[in-house]
Structure 1
Amino acid sequence: MSFSEIEPRHVLCLLGGERPFSELCEMIQSAIDRFAPGFEIDYTFSEAAPDDRMPMSFDVCWDRVRKGAWTDADEEAVSDHRSVIYVLGPPMTATDAVKTSATALRLVVHSLENGIAAAKGESAGVAHGVARWRELARDAEGQTGAALARPCRLAFAKRPIGTTEHLYSIGFHLNGIPDVYVPRSVSDDELLLSAIIDTVAEELFSGGIETVLARRGAKLLPVDGYDEDDFKYNPYGAIHLAS
């Protein structure tokens, strides 16, 4: 089910290290030609110079659920970056979202191994350190179905995001599923609520939306926190769990 005809896209933010900008673009384009069809470098916003907004941007985006998701060395790499390259993924349907996200993950890790110093997924605003990106790629290698969806979701979705009433996820649309909203009344422990969000995501792949709604007494509602032209917008809506 979709609340919109909008098809989600990956936006990858890749920070260059010492290797020249032109060489990094050639490396990324070569990788796109070899294994990431439909991806493209966004030359409009990419630049062969540091962006002084990046340290704060990454600080907001670091994954704070996974212990050790980034290190001091990763923060230093962001501070010392010398260029910024944005890569756009192809529009995705719910059917091909996991496969496309696996390709995005492979492209991120390939770039990190060839001169890119740091990476984040803009379509949910989530960043990991180099070691964590590599770990997620290893977890995805050779997998299919739900086993592939899990590392792709952990790579490109952020949780928990908070409002006064809920903690929720952003980025599950990149796996072709609704985001998940958990009432704060369930617990004061944000890590526990994050675990609930992850559990519901696993249930969506194993049993489907209708099963999850019935089992948990939840509701599927459209997402109204983002405009349809925002890369964070989830056309598949959000599952609101009961208190």
Structure 2
Amino acid sequence: MSFSEVKPRHVLCLLGGQKPFSELCEIIQSAIDRFAPGFEIDYTFSEDAPDDRMPMSFEVCRDRVMKGAWTEADEEAVGDHRSVIYVLGPPMTAEDAVKHSAIALRLVAHTLDNGIVAAKGESAGVAHGADRWKELARDAEGRTGAPLARPCRLAFGKRPIGTAEHLYSIGFHLVGIPDVYAPRSLSDDELALSAIIDAVADEVFSDGVETVLTRRGAKLLPVDAYDEDDFKYNPFGAIHLAS
């Protein structure tokens, strides 16, 4: 089910290190030509210079759920970056989102092996350290279906985001499913609530949205936290768990 005709897209933010900007763009374009059809470098916003907003941006977006996902070395790499390259993915449907996210994950890992020093998924505002990105890419290799969706979701989805009443996810539209809202009444532990969010997402892939809604007494509602032209907007809505 979709609440909008909007099709999600990946926006990848890649920070360059010592290699020249032009060489990095050539490396990325070569990878796009070989295994990432539909992806493109956004030269409008990419720049051959450091961006002083990046340290704060990566600090806000870094993965705080997986232990060791972000290290001092990653923080230093962001602080010392010399260029910024944005890559746009193709518009996705629920049916092909996992496939395109797997390609995006492979592309990130490839660039981190070839001169990029840090990466962030802008469509959910999530950053992992270089080693964690590569680990997730390895987890995705050779997989299909739900086993492939899981590392893609962990790579490009962010959780937990907090309000006074809920913790919730952003970015599950990048694997073609609704986001998940978990009421704080379920647990005082944010990591426990993150685990619930992850469990529900896994159930959606194994059993389907309708089954999960019935089993958990949940509701599927449209997402109103973002406008439809925002890359974080989820056209597939959000599953609101019961208290």
Question: Match of 2:155?
Answer: 155
Question: Match of 1:30?
Answer: 30
CA distance in 2, matches of 1:193, 1:136: 22
Instruction: Work out whether 1:59 is the aligned partner of 2:51.
Output: no
- SS of 1:139 mapped into structure 2: helix
Instruction: Work out whether 1:124 is the aligned partner of 2:136.
Output: no
CA distance in 1, matches of 2:27, 2:135: 22
Correspondences of 1:34-45 after superposition (within 5 Å): 34-45=34-45
CA shift for structure 1 position 97: 0.2
User: How does the TM-score come out when normalised to structure 2?
Assistant: 1.00
Question: Match of 1:201?
Answer: 201
CA distance in 2, matches of 1:187, 1:113: 40
CA distance in 2, matches of 1:96, 1:152: 13
Ranges in structure 2 where 5+ consecutive residues have no aligned partner: none
CA shift for structure 1 position 2: 0.1
Question: Match of 1:172?
Answer: 172
Large movers: runs of 4+ above 2 Å? none
Question: Match of 2:46?
Answer: 46
CA distance in 1, matches of 2:74, 2:225: 31
Instruction: Work out whether 1:236 is the aligned partner of 2:236.
Output: yes
Identity %: 85
- SS of 2:117 mapped into structure 1: strand
- SS of 1:206 mapped into structure 2: helix
Instruction: Work out whether 1:114 is the aligned partner of 2:114.
Output: yes
Write out per-residue CA displacement over residues 152-192 of structure 1, whole angstroms, 9 at most, x where no aligned residue: 00000000000111000000000000000000111110000
User: How does the TM-score come out when normalised to structure 1?
Assistant: 1.00
Write out per-residue CA displacement over residues 79-127 of structure 1, whole angstroms, 9 at most, x where no aligned residue: 0000000000000000000000000000000000000000010000000
- SS of 2:205 mapped into structure 1: helix
Letter in 1 for 2:152: C
Number of aligned residue pairs: give it. Answer: 243
Ranges in structure 1 where 5+ consecutive residues have no aligned partner: none
CA shift for structure 1 position 223: 0.1
Question: Match of 1:3?
Answer: 3
Question: Match of 1:216?
Answer: 216
Question: Match of 2:82?
Answer: 82
Letter in 2 for 1:222: P
